[in-house]
C-alpha cells in the first residue's frame, strides 16, 4: 500500500521491537506519520480524532469498538473445520476475538473467495461486508533465476519440495504414507526436501519418517531465506502441497512464479489459487497423493506444461492488486460507519457477546469435568 497508494496518508502505530522489521520495508513512507506505542494497542485511542479509518490486520479488531470507520483482516477460520488441530487456549482466544471483531468492524478483508464464503456462512456476515484481497508473492520469485542461492545443506540430485511449518493441517503424515506406497508398490524412490519450523502440538516429522522406514528420503532444512527457497523451487521436480486447509497458500504462487510445477490438494482455497496450473489430488487419500507424485515425477512434458501455465497464473497475484483491494475496503468502510451502530456495539453487543462466549466455555468445562468424573466412577466400580 505504501508503494501503490499515493492518494492516502498512512499512520503507523508501532512498537520499538518492530523497528528491525520496519527497516526492511522498501518504502520509508511509514515514517511520515508514525506513532510509537510503548505498552498496549489501546494507547492509539488518544489519536482517534487524527485518523479517518482504523485498520487492524492481525486477525482481530483491537481495541473495539471504535467511534470511527474500522477495517480488519481475518485470513481464515480453520478452527471451525479442524478444532482438533488447536489447543483449548487457542480455541478460546479465537472464540473470544474473531466473530466479535468481524461483527464490530465496518469492513472485513480476507484472502480468498473460499475464506469469504466461510466467514459469510459461519459468522453470519453480509457478503458485501467482506472484501477479498488475494495475497501476492515476493517479487524475487518472479526473478528466481537471478536471485536464487543454494541452501547450506546437501541436497539430493532429484527431489520434490514441501515448504510448510509442522502444523497438523499441512498433512505431512499422508505425504509420508504416499512415499511408502511409491517405494513399496511402484519401486519409485522420491526424495522430499522440507522447510519450516517445528511447532508446539505439531507433527513430529523426523520421528514418523523413521517409523515409516523412509528417513533416508526425508531432508529437513528448517528455516531458509527467500533466495534459498527460490533455489529449491528452481531445482525441484515439483512443489507438493498436501494441505487439508488453506486460506490461500502463498507457496503455490511462489512456486508458479519461479517456474516450479505444482501438485496440490483439491480442497479449500487451493483450486481457486492455482486454476488449471496444478495437478490436484484428494489429500485424505495417500494413494491419490502417490499417484499424482508419480505422474509429475515421471512425465517431463507434464512438468513443462504446468510450468508454463503456472507462470501465467502467477501474474494474477500482485502487490498492486492486493493494495487496490485494501483501498476499496477502506473507502467502503467510511460509507458503512454508523455512530448508532457504534453505540450499540459499545453498550450492548460487546457485553452480550462476551457473556455468551463465557457461558459457552463454562458449559464445555462442566461437561468435561462431568465426563472425567464419570470415567473415575466407572474405573472404581
Reported as a pLDDT band with limits 50, 70 and 90, residue 23 is confident
Q: Is 239 helix (H, G, I), strand (E, B) or coil?
A: strand
pLDDT of 324 over the 90 cut: yes
Determine the average pLDDT of the residues in 28-43: 90
pLDDT, one tens digit per residue, over 151-166 is: 999 999 999 999 999 9
Helices assigned H by DSSP within the chain: 19-22, 78-81, 88-104, 113-122, 144-147, 172-185, 205-211, 226-235, 250-258, 270-274, 286-298, 300-314, 319-336, 339-344, 350-380
Chain CA centroid to CA 49, Å:
33
pLDDT on residue 355: 87
pLDDT of 367 over the 90 cut: no
Report d(CA 150, CA 148) in Å as an integer: 7
Q: Give the contacts of 313 (CB within 8 A, at least 6 positions apart).
A: 256, 274, 275, 276, 277
Domains observed in the chain: 52-135+321-374 (no CATH), 139-317 (3.40.50.2000)
Task: Give this prediction's pTM.
Answer: 0.91
pLDDT on residue 352: 83
Reported as a pLDDT band with limits 50, 70 and 90, residue 100 is very high
pLDDT, one tens digit per residue, over 51-72 is: 999 999 989 999 999 999 999 9
Reported as a pLDDT band with limits 50, 70 and 90, residue 357 is confident
Question: Which residue carries 514441501 as its cell?
Answer: 162
Q: Is 162 helix (H, G, I), strand (E, B) or coil?
A: strand
Determine the average pLDDT of the residues in 100-119: 97
Determine the average pLDDT of the residues in 349-355: 84
pLDDT on residue 378: 62
pLDDT of 380 over the 70 cut: no
pLDDT of 381 over the 60 cut: no
pLDDT on residue 358: 85
DSSP states of 41-94: GGGGGGGGGG-S-EEE-SSS-SS-S-SS-EEEE----HHHH-GGGS-HHHHHHH
Reported as a pLDDT band with limits 50, 70 and 90, residue 375 is low
pLDDT of 372 over the 90 cut: no
The mean pLDDT value of the chain amounts to 93
Determine the average pLDDT of the residues in 192-221: 94
**Other CB atoms closer than 10 Å to residue 168's CB: what's the count?**
17
Lowest mean pLDDT among 107-111, 153-157, 173-177, 367-371: 367-371
Determine the average pLDDT of the residues in 78-84: 96
Q: Give the contacts of 220 (CB within 8 A, at least 6 positions apart).
A: 194, 205, 206
Nearest C-alpha neighbor of 141 from the set 279, 251, 14: 251
Determine the average pLDDT of the residues in 239-245: 98
pLDDT on residue 24: 85
Determine the average pLDDT of the residues in 259-284: 98
What percentage of the chain reaches a pLDDT higher than 90? Answer: 78
pLDDT, one tens digit per residue, over 273-295 is: 999 999 999 999 999 999 999 99
pLDDT of 356 over the 90 cut: no
Amino acid at each position: 500500500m505504501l508503494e501503490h497508494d499515493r492518494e492516502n496518508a498512512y499512520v503507523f502505530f508501532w512498537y520499538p521491537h518492530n523497528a528491525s522489521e520496519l527497516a526492511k520495508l522498501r518504502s520509508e513512507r511509514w515514517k511520515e506519520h508514525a506513532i510509537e506505542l510503548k505498552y498496549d494497542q489501546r494507547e492509539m485511542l488518544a489519536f482517534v480524532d487524527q485518523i479517518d479509518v482504523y485498520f487492524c490486520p492481525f486477525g482481530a479488531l483491537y481495541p473495539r469498538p471504535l467511534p470511527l470507520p474500522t477495517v480488519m483482516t481475518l485470513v481464515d477460520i480453520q478452527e471451525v473445520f479442524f478444532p482438533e488441530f488447536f489447543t483449548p487456549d487457542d480455541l478460546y482466544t479465537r472464540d473470544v476475538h474473531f466473530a466479535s471483531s468481524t461483527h464490530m468492524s465496518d469492513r472485513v478483508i480476507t484472502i480468498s473467495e473460499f475464506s469469504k464464503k466461510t466467514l459469510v456462512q459461519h459468522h453470519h456476515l453480509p457478503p458485501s461486508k467482506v472484501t477479498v484481497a488475494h495475497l501476492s508473492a515476493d517479487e524475487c520469485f518472479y526473478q528466481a533465476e537471478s536471485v536464487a542461492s543454494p541452501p547450506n545443506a546437501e541436497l539430493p540430485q532429484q527431489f520434490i519440495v514441501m515448504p510448510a511449518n509442522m502444523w497438523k493441517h499441512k498433512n505431512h503424515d499422508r505425504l509420508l504414507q504416499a512415499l511408502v506406497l511409491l517405494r513399496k508398490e511402484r519401486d519409485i524412490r522420491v526424495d522430499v526436501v522440507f522447510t519450516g519450523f517445528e511447532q508446539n502440538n505439531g507433527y513430529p516429522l523426523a520421528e514418523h519418517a523413521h517409523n515409516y522406514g523412509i528417513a533416508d528420503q526425508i531432508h529437513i532444512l528448517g528455516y531458509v531465506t527467500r533466495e534459498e527457497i527460490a533455489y529449491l523451487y528452481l531445482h525441484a521436480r515439483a512443489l507438493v502441497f498436501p494441505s487439508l486447509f488453506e486460506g490461500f497458500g502463498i507457496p503455490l504462487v511462489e512456486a508458479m512464479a519461479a517456474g516450479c510445477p505444482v501438485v496440490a490438494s483439491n480442497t479449500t482455497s487451493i483450486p481457486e489459487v492455482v486454476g488449471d496450473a496444478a495437478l490436484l489430488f484428494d489429500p485424505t487419500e495417500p494413494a491419490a497423493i502417490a499417484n499424482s507424485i508419480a505422474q509429475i515425477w515421471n512425465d517431463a512434458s507434464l512438468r513443462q506444461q504446468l510450468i508454463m501455465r503456472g507462470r501465467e497464473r502467477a501474474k494474477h497475484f500482485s502487490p498492486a492488486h492486493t493494495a487496490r483491494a485494501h483501498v476499496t475496503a477502506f473507502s467502503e468502510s467510511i460509507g458503512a460507519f454508523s455512530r448508532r451502530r457504534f453505540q450499540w456495539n459499545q453498550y450492548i453487543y460487546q457485553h452480550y457477546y462476551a457473556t455468551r462466549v463465557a457461558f459457552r466455555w463454562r458449559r464445555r468445562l462442566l461437561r468435561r469435568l462431568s465426563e472425567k468424573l464419570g470415567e473415575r466412577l466407572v474405573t472404581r466400580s
